[in-house]
Structure 1
């Protein structure tokens, strides 16, 4: 008898996890990613109006990042650009080329950025008024700027839909189970 109640209790825990916690994880992750993505969009749009300063590329290389999971490995290539610039006599460093910068398994994108910004090149740096650490070489919205907010909103919406439909599906299945057990009992008698 304790085995039955233990398995029923485990089943109730699993139902709670899949109907409430699992969707909540999607909602939380989606909301966080969407928040930072939308903040990036707002800054990207505003960056075209930011003041500019002259700077110089201090470092420009393609970096490789290796990762492995489940016996499979992958390589991602990023353009690692470091630039220096001065605002009111204070020197600042920046690494952002454009909002929405991304790495890829194809090194050609990273190489193209590194070729565009070779070490020693003079550049125009756009910086946020009052916060020069927030800076960018290519101001404005780019196609890749939309990836993070879109990804976050999709995750958020998936979590909301799961929170609505998983409990309904579980309730429907639970209501169907007593009927199927009753039908089985009728067949055995």
Structure 2
């Protein structure tokens, strides 16, 4: 009787692992495609309004994230965004990595803003695919393989 219970728990764990892998893979693929497309987006000038290092200290530990906020103006209106690169909103346990991003952008600095012509409120400062996007895809694929 207990043998079947543990077997079912193992199957459930594999199923959950696979589902998490699917979610990571779908999210990573969407991020990858958008990041790749951003290389062809038009650019305009913008200005950095906020450049801070966010520190979150909870029961899981300390995480860091560069909070960069910038504004840009197009004929259709004024926009505000906080995306530095695709995957930027992910926190990290490395204060050094987050500080490197923060230190690239000073308040008042003029920046090149790449914006989506189909949705001008969507923008990025550093277009293209970066390491974080690849990590999300690798994790998703690995979890699906394990399952």
Question: Given the two structures, how large is their TM-score scaled by the length of structure 2?
Answer: 0.90
How far residue 44 of structure 1 moved from its aligned partner, in angstroms, is: 1.0
Report the counterpart of residue 35 of structure 1 in structure 2.
26
Q: Quick check: which has more Rg, 1 or 2?
A: 1
Report the counterpart of residue 17 of structure 1 in structure 2.
9
Residue 83 of structure 1 pairs with residue 83 of structure 2: no
Cα pair 1:50 1:126 within 8 Å, conserved = yes
**Higher relative helix content:** 1
Report the counterpart of residue 136 of structure 1 in structure 2.
124
RMSD: 1.6
Report the counterpart of residue 162 of structure 1 in structure 2.
none
Cα pair 1:59 1:82 within 8 Å, conserved = yes
The 5 Å alignment of 1:37-186 reads: 37-69=28-60, 74-101=61-88, 102-159=90-147
- Larger relative CO (CA 8 A, sep 6+): 1 or 2? 2
SS at match of 2:39: helix
Q: Whole-Å Cα distance in 1 between the matches of residues 98 and 56 of structure 2?
A: 12
How far residue 139 of structure 1 moved from its aligned partner, in angstroms, is: 0.6
**Where does the alignment leave 5 or more consecutive residues of structure 2 unmatched?**
none
SS at match of 1:112: helix
How far residue 100 of structure 1 moved from its aligned partner, in angstroms, is: 2.7
Q: Whole-Å Cα distance in 1 between the matches of residues 76 and 91 of structure 2?
A: 34
Residues 29-59 of structure 1 deviation map (CA, whole Å, 9 limit, x = unaligned):
0000111111111111111101112111111
SS at match of 1:49: coil
How far residue 82 of structure 1 moved from its aligned partner, in angstroms, is: 0.6
How far residue 17 of structure 1 moved from its aligned partner, in angstroms, is: 2.8
